[in-house]
Amino acid sequence: MGHRHFNGLKTAALFGVLWVVLLALGASVGRGRYIFLFAGLGVVMTAYSYWNSDKIAIRAMHAVPVSELEQPGMYRIVRELSTAARQPMPRLFVSPTAAPNAFATGRNPRNAAVCCTEGILALLDERELRGVLGHELTHVYNRDILTSSVAAAVAGVITSIAQFLMFFGGGDRDRSSNPIAGIAMALLAPLAATMIQLAISRTREYDADEDGARLTGDPLALASALRKLERGTQVAPLPRDQKLVDVSHLMIANPFKATGVARLFATHPPMADRIDRLQRMAGLPPY
């Protein structure tokens, strides 16, 4: 519980910094006259992305709903885990792609959706799939979709304001204004927002690994699944389409090839670190 408490404090602190960046950037436009406008825009964007999170992600992955007759194993696992957690049964979807991955989305447990790709269903055995689905259900139970929606929306607003500054300036023609500082703010603020958003996403992944392993009672099953996904996502990555990039933080594994500088901007923690934590939960030596 102590580690989980630390992750909660870390997430709250990162959100605080993210809003400070937003308000500081807003204050630099028109001497701060629009700061409340930008804060309000952040709230509106957050509400929209949160309310429509399931539709956005399902549409991006071209996923289709499946019946229990079509996916009996998936239904059996999710029903068992939902019952154990005393939560309602989510809607189940399958995405017709060979890239192995899974995600859960929806604004709350009653409006949740869990999606597996055809690739992950072919790659994992039932025990490993149970570990993955436990992880995904935990994201819903921990309200991580709200967390990620807020982070993505605020980061998006910061980027939009920075682009406005770059093209139109701060709307302040006062000679005392510092154009170099304005340009620096316009360049650095989106980078800072992106790095904070990624840090929040990584923190929530660690928590979902830990809580999902507790839900299934089998941390080694998830560790085994992550090993296969580490290799599988490199062999069959998703294309870097912007719609897929926008929902990639929801997936259990980074769906894109992560090489060189791209690793710095990964939405997920290193697989080795995640597997190490799960093995320690099971009382085994590091991966």
Q: Is 128 a catalytic residue?
A: no
Residue 287 lies in a domain: no
Residue 42 lies in a domain: yes
Q: Which of 80, 126, 136, 230 is catalytic?
A: 136
Alpha-carbon span 48 to 262, nearest angstrom: 28
| Per-residue CA distances from 101 to 41, 156, 192, 236 (Å) | 32, 25, 28, 10
Residues 6+ apart with CB under 8 A from 26: 32, 34, 35, 37, 38, 39, 161
- Residue closest to 120 by CA, chosen among 196, 197, 226: 226
What is the number of domains present in the chain? 1
Residue 260 lies in a domain: yes
Residues 6+ apart with CB under 8 A from 84: 215
The answer to whether the CB of 268 falls within 8 A of the CB of 201 is yes
Residue 98 lies in a domain: yes
- Residue closest to 274 by CA, chosen among 200, 206, 214, 201: 206
Residue 286 lies in a domain: no
Residue 50 lies in a domain: yes
Domain interval for residue 217: 2-281
Q: How does pLDDT run along the chain (287 residues), one tens digit per residue?
A: 445 545 556 566 766 777 777 777 666 665 656 667 766 776 776 677 667 777 888 999 999 999 999 999 999 999 999 999 999 999 999 999 999 999 998 878 998 999 999 999 999 999 999 999 999 999 999 888 777 777 776 777 777 777 666 666 555 544 445 565 566 666 777 777 777 777 778 888 999 999 999 999 999 999 999 999 999 999 999 998 888 887 888 899 999 976 655 566 677 899 999 999 999 999 987 76
